[in-house]
């Protein structure tokens, strides 16, 4: 690994993506959103995408573990699927979430995307058996309409598409993209029996929306189990 590549993840700035990603992964671990090596996060700044590795305990990720990819990606060559600006010298693999993160960049202009295995998200996909999670008349103003930044209100109905899981995470890419196109206002996509992908224009907005949505998943699940309607006037 050349020193120039190492310099992509070496910074004294606590807000540098290579420093933020380990900090956020530790926070998500303690929230129960990511356990073991599951889940993931990316942060895009300009023409660089910083991505947490696969196979590292989420609370133990370090800045030197971070992958750095150019954005947008150049067309693939016959010998490689992706171009890296930096690959860790350790025997690490990039996150299997990478193609899903790219959906958030390409279809939403996101600056960050977070993937959690939150039990609240998983339970929501089990109790909402159809293709959409819906809830209204809750404090959902922390959730923004994708692409506009407009906050949802107490009277709005939040809709989040639910796609079916696949054995290999990267195979979710097309289904996720289809759901994002069908529901252009959605702030995230749920994956049945798996978790959720949430994005934002930057890491702060992505984190805020992930927190707000997880709260709504938890409330919604409790309402469903208590026999209460999650959408007012919903039959």
Which residues are annotated binding-site positions? 97, 115, 117, 194
Tell me the backbone φ, ψ of residue 98, rounded to 5 degrees: -50, -50
pLDDT value for 235: 46
Q: What is the pLDDT of residue 51?
A: 97
Q: Determine how β-strand 188-191 pairs with β-strand 93-94.
A: unpaired
> What is the spatial distance between Cα 117 and Cα 123, in angstroms, rounded to a whole number?
10
Q: Report the binding-site residues for substrate.
A: 97
The residue out of 69, 95, 121 marking a domain boundary is 95
User: Residues forming the annotated binding site for Zn(2+)?
Assistant: 115, 117, 194
* pTM given for the model: 0.94
How many domains would you assign to the chain? Answer: 2
Q: Which residues pair with 197 in a beta bridge?
A: 115, 189
Is 2 in the same domain as 89? yes
Among the three residues 33, 66, 95, which one is the final residue of a domain in this structure? 95
- Flag whether 233 is in a domain: no
Of 90, 21, 11, the closest CA to residue 49 belongs to 21
Same domain, 104 and 180: yes
Same domain? For 176 and 210 the reply is yes
The domain spanning residue 12 has which CATH number?
3.40.225.10
Q: Examine the domain organization and report whether 149 and 168 are in the same domain.
A: yes
Domain, as residue range, for 49: 1-95
102 and 87, same structural domain?
Answer: no
Quick one: 83 and 104 in the same domain? Answer: no
* Residue 50 and residue 64 in contact, taking contact as beta carbons nearer than 8 Å: no
The H or E element containing residue 122 is helix 119-127
In the chain, beta strands by DSSP E: 40-45, 48-51, 53-54, 67-70, 93-94, 112-116, 132-136, 157-163, 188-191, 195-200
| Tens-place pLDDT, residues 11-66 | 999 999 999 999 999 999 999 999 988 999 999 999 999 999 999 999 999 999 99
* 105 in the same domain as 220: yes
| DSSP, residue by residue, 152-211 | P-TTSEEEEEEE---SSGGGGHHHHHHHHHHSTT-SEEEETTTEEEEEESSHHHHHHHHH
Residues 168 and 210 in one domain: yes
Whether 8 and 106 map to the same domain: the answer is no
Q: Are residues 60 and 145 in the same domain?
A: no
pLDDT score, position 149:
73
């Amino acid at each position: 690994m050349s020193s120039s590549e190492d310099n992509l993840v070496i910074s004294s700035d606590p807000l540098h993506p290579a420093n933020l990603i380990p900090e956020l992964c530790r926070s998500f671990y303690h929230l129960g959103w990511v356990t073991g090596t599951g889940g993931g996060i990316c942060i895009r700044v300009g023409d660089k995408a910083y991505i947490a590795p696969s196979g590292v305990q989420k609370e133990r990720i370090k800045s030197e573990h971070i992958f750095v990819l150019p954005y947008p990606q150049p067309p693939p060559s016959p010998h490689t699927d992706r171009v890296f600006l930096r690959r860790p010298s350790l025997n690490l693999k990039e996150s299997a979430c990478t193609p899903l993160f790219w959906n958030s960049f390409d279809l939403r202009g996101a600056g960050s995307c977070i993937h959690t295995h939150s039990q609240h998200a998983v339970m929501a996909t089990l109790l909402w058996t159809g293709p959409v999670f819906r809830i209204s008349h809750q404090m959902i103003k922390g959730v923004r309409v994708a692409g506009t930044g407009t906050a949802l209100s107490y009277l709005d109905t939040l809709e989040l598409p639910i796609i079916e899981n696949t054995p290999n995470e990267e195979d979710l890419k097309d289904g996720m993209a289809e759901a994002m196109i069908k529901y252009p206002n959605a702030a995230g996509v749920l994956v049945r029996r798996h978790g959720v992908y949430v994005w934002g224009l930057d890491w702060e907005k992505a984190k805020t929306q992930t927190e707000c949505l997880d709260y709504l998943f938890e409330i919604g699940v409790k309402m469903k189990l208590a026999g209460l309607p999650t959408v007012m006037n919903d039959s």
